[in-house]
Amino acid sequence: MAISQDQPLHLLNTVFGYPAFRGAQREIVEHVVAGGDALVLMPTGGGKSLCYQLPALLRDGTALVISPLIALMQDQVAALRQLGVRAAFLNSTLDAREVAAAERALREGALDLLYVAPERLVMPRMLELLEHSRIALFAIDEAHCVSQWGHDFRPEYLQLSLLHERFPEVPRIALTATADLQTRVEIRQRLALEGAREFVSSFDRPNIRYTIVDKQDARQQLLRFIREAHAGEAGIVYCLSRKKVDETAAWLIEQKVSALPYHAGMDAAMRTDNQARFQREEGIVMVATIAFGMGIDKPDVRFVAHLDLPKSIEGYYQETGRAGRDGEAADAWMTYGLGDVVQQRRMIDQSEGSEEYRRVSFAKLEALLGLCETAGCRRVRLLDYFGEASAPCGNCDNCLEPPQTWDATDAARKALSCIFRTGQRFGSRHLIDVLRGQATDRVAQWRHQDLSVFGIGADIDEATWRDVFRQLVTLGFVRPDHAAFGALRLTETSRPVLKGEQRIDMRRLALRKGKSATVRRKASADGMSAADAMLLERLRTWRSEQAREQSVPAYVIFHDATLSAIAAAHPRDIDDLSTIHGIGAKKLERYGQALMSLLRD
């Protein structure tokens, strides 16, 4: 089929309702339409789907989309059908009759896209069916699943190289949001994509605001954050353990937040149910372990909060990347304290992994701690980690409210001295009591009131001391000893500090207490008149009704941004309406009248 120059853009406008391509989308689409293989690296929310959906419409035959995320296929297909695209899926959730119908449609050339689970695709029966069908392209989504070193490894993915052997003339496009070099190399090798052109996008997510706060009373801090910045909005709260997930979810519910728990220890049916509710209903806060995540493509997640420290910057970036995929303002918020550092170090120390594994894990943790402790722009630090240079962003806590530093040389010396004098066998809580001259039972038991360090730090408050100890650990002057219940021990590097030969500046986190850099109004209602805001609420209600009737998620009908644009633009007729982003021909035909009558009321 001959493709005219503007055909991709024309389809983007009319089918998807978007005015322009984003980043490298156009180049990728043209490359694949022309029959080339591609390896696409784009951050979560970057717009990967269009890179194969448009070629699927532009090339003859059916595009096969291989994805491990069975739970999502149904929603993805529903969203495409809303746009008038002929799509179907094949996975283990279908019964025999439904499978037969999809297979028939494939054979008859009645499908633009077919989503398939990898294990099903490589079955002899399926391959045989493909031989007798017309295949436009293979799109291999979540391509990093071939990497045996990654945490999403799927053995079935290794067999996908046979696609190249069986169908050498069909173009293949592999897509992932995992950017590191090792994974890239593995994808190329294992999928026989050596000759594929590589498209690497910027990994910046400018609409996400990064904030890392000093851990005080984590739950209350979280609740304040949700109430002040995200009341009634959808979000994800990550915790390290299943127990903490259950407890936090229950507590949030008591506080009238619509929270649901999710972790691998739950009954499978309940887990699936909670995920479906999060995906479909509005304003649900999912409290989860990292078992929840891959395959969450809900575009209107307004915040991702971490109550515990992730293992690495890769993990942090992947988890926070689930916020704001629709491009609207979103928050990545984390509380972090000394306890987190101690806990993560212990997990690595006690892991079964090899020496090499531990070394790499410690290095990754160090990099993440650097991000937590930096007084500079968080985004610059994050992007730098992925090999991308950038300038201060103006949309992170440190840019918005630059942290102050103070000369902590004397305090550091007192803290180190206190560790030494008490025999290097205590954690920070007791050490702080000694420094502040508190007559606790423990102090009495060890006769620490007799030490020269007792009470030498009474002029500094407890929260500041916690900061000092945490920074001493992250700066490497002190190491928690896990064999001794996290007792703090001095390292070699602490000597010059102890002797007063090295000056130490620390960031003053406690100053931020109470103030919140992230307080802002709901993005969608920003700067709207009361009348427009009311209209927006009515549009939302209408959308919820539509979603319920058709049993699809609300964003499949229209995204938040589209509803906000309608409320702000006051379209007078169908023509006006058609110029709004996110309203393509099919949706105009389907919902135009209903929207116009709602607007006229």
Which position among 51, 57, 77, 393 is part of the footprint of Zn ion (CB under 5 A)? 393
Given the complex with ligand ADP, which of 18 and 477 has the nearer CB atom? 18
CB of 16 to ligand ADP, least distance (A): 7
- In the bound state with ligand ADP, the residue whose beta carbon lies nearer, of 22 and 164, is 22
Is residue 396 a contact residue for Zn ion (CB under 5 A)?
yes
Shortest distance, position 13 Cβ to ligand ADP, whole Å: 10
| 345 counts as binding Zn ion under rule CB under 5 A | no
What sign does the dihedral 208-212-218-224 (CA atoms) show? negative
Q: Per rule CB under 5 A, is residue 399 in the interface with Zn ion?
A: yes
Could you tell me the smallest distance in angstroms from the CB atom of residue 208 to Zn ion?
Answer: 11
Cβ–Cβ < 8 Å for 68, 145:
yes
Name which of 122 and 377 has its Cβ closer to Zn ion.
377
Least CB distance to ligand ADP at residue 390 (A): 20
> Mask 353-392, x = binds Zn ion (CB under 5 A)?
------------------------x-x-------------
396 contacts which partner out of Zn ion, ligand ADP, none, CB within 5 to 8 A by kind?
A: Zn ion
Question: For residue 252, with 0-12 CB atoms within 10 Å meaning exposed, 13-18 middle and 19 or more buried, which class applies?
Answer: buried
CB of 332 to ligand ADP, least distance (A): 16
Q: How far is the CB of 328 from ligand ADP (least distance, A)?
A: 10
Tokens encoding 378: 């968080």
Q: How far apart are CA 9 and CA 15, in angstroms?
A: 10
Q: Which of the listed partners (ligand ADP, Zn ion, none) does 494 bind, with a CB threshold of 5 to 8 Å by partner kind?
A: none
What is the SS3 string spanning 29-78? HHHHHCCCCEEEECCCCCCCHHHHHHHHHHCCCEEEEECCCHHHHHHHHH
Contacted entry of ligand ADP, Zn ion, none for residue 48, CB cut-off 5 to 8 Å set by kind: ligand ADP
What's the DSSP call for residue 196? P
Measure Cα distances from 175 to 65, 316, 537 in Å: 11, 20, 37
E strand or H helix at 118? helix 118-121
Contacted by 571, from ligand ADP, Zn ion, none: CB < 5 to 8 Å by type? none
The residues that touch ligand ADP, with contacts defined as CB under 6 A, are 18, 21-22, 25, 42, 44-50, 297, 299, 325-326
The least CB distance from residue 559 to ligand ADP, in Å, is 6
Give 201 or 471: the residue with its C-beta nearer to ligand ADP.
Answer: 201
Minimum Å gap between C-beta 216 and ligand ADP is: 34
Which partner in ligand ADP, Zn ion, none is near 393 (CB below 5 to 8 A by kind)?
A: Zn ion
Give CA–CA dist 568/528, Å, rounded. 7
As a whole number of angstroms, the distance between CA 504 and CA 103 comes to 68
Tally of CA atoms within 13 A in the half-sphere of 246 that contains its CB: 9
> Nearer Cβ to Zn ion, position 185 or 400?
400
Distance CA 301, CA 554 (A): 13
Spell out the alpha helix ranges (H) of 401-529: 409-421, 428-436, 441-445, 462-474, 495-498
Considering the rule CB under 5 A, would residue 29 count as an interface residue with Zn ion?
no
- Residue 199 dihedral angles phi and psi, to the nearest 5°: -120, 110
90 vs 393, beta carbon nearer Zn ion: 393
**Residues in contact with Zn ion by the rule CB under 5 A:** 377, 379, 393, 396, 399
